[in-house]
Amino acid sequence: MIAYYKCIRSVSCGIASTGWFPFAHTLSFRISSMNHPKLSRRSFLKTSVTMAGTFPLVSELAHANSHDVSEPLMAYVGTFSSPLQDVLDTQVDLPPGNGRGIHLFQVDRETGGLTPAGIHAMGTSPSCLAVNTAGTHLYSTNETDRVGKEKHGSVSSFKISKKDGSLIPLNTVNSGGAGPTYVSIHPSGRYLLIANYFGGSVAVLPILQDGRLGEPTDIKNDTGKIGPTTATNAPEGSFAFSGHDRTHAHMIQSDPTGRFVFHVDLGLDKIYSWKFDEKTGKLTANNPPSISLPPGDGPRHFHFHPNGRWFYSIQEEGSTLVLFDYDEQAGSLTSRQTISTLPDGFKGSNFCSEILVSDDGKFVYAGNRLHDSIGIFSVGSNGELTWIADEWTRGNYPRSFSFDPTGDFLYCCNQRADSIAVFKVDRNTGKLQFTDHYAAVGNPSHMVFLDLAKIK
């Protein structure tokens, strides 16, 4: 179906969780090799594995600037994982991944180094994670095509132990579509927003008082004409063909006010704008209901600037960043600048992944897969971007990256390299310096942080 195997993409996983396991070696997994040169990109993708991001971190937790060392700083890593038939009574319509569920680490606040702190075993690819503002609960999308005979993925809720950061499973519910690839929390704290990549749909799930999830209050299915298999802005010589085979909802996130919700569909080359009713959890099409990107470019993720007036979108197959002016009263976007994520002179295929704006609003970071770099851009006084440099990710296929709560370290999930690389952030220049710290994680997909001292 796809001539380029991109990353071990993801396909929702999420049936029940299996409890707390203190160390990875206590688990037994049957993982088979999928390194076949003739696999299609999508098939290869499905063997393991956006955010993620992006608001992958809860803003209040992600940008705290104090170093409270009284309690551990925890990191949770979502992965593409294999079905654990000896642990879970479920079927997953996917090849196996190398992850073992949600991997936990303690973070060295001074060096950025990661020390393994356990694994919450899940064989259903918990590929994207979100922690609530209070730090009491964590939510995961489980990126599978089906659970048993039903064609959908699932979403799981967990209580976080204040004692050691371990995860206590609460419940797992239908995600409203196949392959949920992204989860974010509405600013009210009352709803989860879910993007189902293989289902081409988005869903709203209520968060109950005890942190459990209810059945969807709304599900919207994307429809329309699929974009071309060649991106308008693709680099010269690119054969990057990603999701232009059908509808693919890739990310969903509220604006800072909570009044509007945006989601992207990669296959339709559109960003959708919704009015959100906080009382009912319903989405209503805004006017206009969507914004079109250049045909075939494939919008994947986006991130608001801290000032709330600028909105940046990254295109997976076009390898571009687009700056939009945002009208928070109307919930409307107006494009103003398009810039390549790659250095001048690059030729060939590349798949973009993550986009993040630094907490001070001075820099934008863009992930490049195949080029295996993070592009670094300065933000001008009018929001326009200027390419500064790029940094090698020290691994293959960077699916996502996340800042620690101080913004001083950046953690890159190198999906095909089965590792996380740690970089020091120069807050003045925006550049990244590798710290020589790695963490071994099978098919890492997404990473979030939590200071245990801040659990309410």
**pLDDT for residue 168:** 98
CA distance 83 to 147: 11
Q: How far is CA 72 from CA 45, 413, 416, in A?
A: 34, 21, 29
The pLDDT value given to residue 95: 54
CA 101-103-108 angle, to 5 degrees, is 170
| 429 inside domain | yes
Angle (nearest 5°) at CA 346 between 428 and 416: 80
**Residue 9 within any structural domain of the chain:** no
Does residue 11 sit within a domain?
Answer: no
Question: Which stretches of the chain score pLDDT less than 50?
Answer: 1-67, 85-93
How far apart CA 339 and CA 428 sit, in angstroms, is 22
* 150: DSSP letter: B
> Exposed, middle or buried, 411 (CB in 10 Å: 0-12/13-18/19+)?
buried
Into how many domains does the chain fold? 1
Give 162: exposed, middle or buried? Use CB within 10 Å, 0-12, 13-18, 19+: middle
Q: Which helix (H) or strand (E) holds 46?
A: helix 41-46
Structural domain span for residue 193: 20-454
Beta bridge partners of 185: 192
Position 207 in a domain: yes
> For residue 85, is it within any domain?
yes
Note the pTM of the prediction, 2 decimals.
0.84
**Phi, psi for residue 127 in degrees, rounded to 5:** -85, -20
Please, which residues bridge with residue 174 across strands? Answer: 154
- Within a domain: 29: yes
In a domain, 309, yes or no: yes
- Check residue 242 and give its pLDDT: 85
Q: 389-395 contacts: CB < 8 A, separation 24 or more?
A: 389/431, 390/342, 390/343, 391/423, 391/431, 391/432, 391/434, 393/367, 393/421, 394/419, 394/421, 394/434, 394/438, 395/419, 395/421
Q: What is the pLDDT of residue 84?
A: 55
Residue 169 in contact with residue 16, Cβ under 8 Å? yes
Buried b (16+ CB within 10 A) or exposed e, 379-396: beeebebebeebbebbbe
Strands of 29-72, DSSP E: none
pLDDT of residue 97: 87
Is position 6 within any domain? no
DSSP 25: G
Tokens for 234?
């693709």
The string of DSSP letters for 99-149 reads: B-EEEEEEE-TTT--EEEEEEEE-SS-EEEEEE-TTSSEEEEEEB-S-BTT
- CATH number, position 68: 2.130.10.10
